[in-house]
Amino acid sequence: MSVRTRFAPSPTGRLHIGNARTALFNRLFARRHNGRFIVRIEDTDIERSSKEFEKEILGDLKWLGLDWDEGPDRDGAKGPYRQSERLSLYKSYAARLVDNKLAYNCFCTKERLEALKKDQIAKGLPPRYDGRCRNITSSDAPSGMTPVIRFRVPEREIRFTDGVHGGMSFDARAFGDFVIIGSDFVASYNFAVVIDDALMEITHVIRGDDHLSNTPRQILLFDALGFPAPSFSHIPLVLGTNKLPLSKRERNASVGELRDAGYLPVGIVNAIARLGWSPEEGLLGLDELSSDFALENLSNSPAVFDIERLKSFNREAIKKMEETAIFASLGLDGDELFMEAVLDIRGNASTLSELKDIIGYVTGGIEYDEDALVALSEPHAKAVLRAFCEEAERFDLLDGTAYNRIIGEVKKRTGEKGPRLFHPIRYALTGKKEGIEIVNILKLIGWIEALKRIKRFL
Residues labelled as active-site residues: 248
Q: How far is CA 252 from CA 54, 57, 71, 409, in A?
A: 19, 15, 27, 48
* Max intra-chain CA distance, the chain: 108
Contact predicate 382/445, CB 8 Å: no
Taking Cα atoms as reference points, which of 84, 49, 38 lies closest to residue 184?
84
| Exposure b/e, 35-71, CB count within 10 A at least 16 = b | bbbbbbbbbbeeeebeeebbebbbebbeebebebbbb
Contact predicate 283/274, CB 8 Å: no
Alpha helix stretches (DSSP H) within 138-246: 189-199, 215-225
95 contacts: CB under 8 Å, gap ≥ 6: none
Report the C-alpha gap between 230 and 29 in whole angstroms.
Answer: 14
- Residue 149 parent element (H or E): strand 148-151
Taking Cα atoms as reference points, which of 223, 232, 228, 210 lies closest to residue 152?
223
Query: What's the helix, strand, coil split of the chain in %, to 5?
Result: 50, 10, 40
Give the β-pairing of 157-162 and 166-171.
antiparallel
Q: How many CB atoms lie within 10 A of CB 301?
A: 8
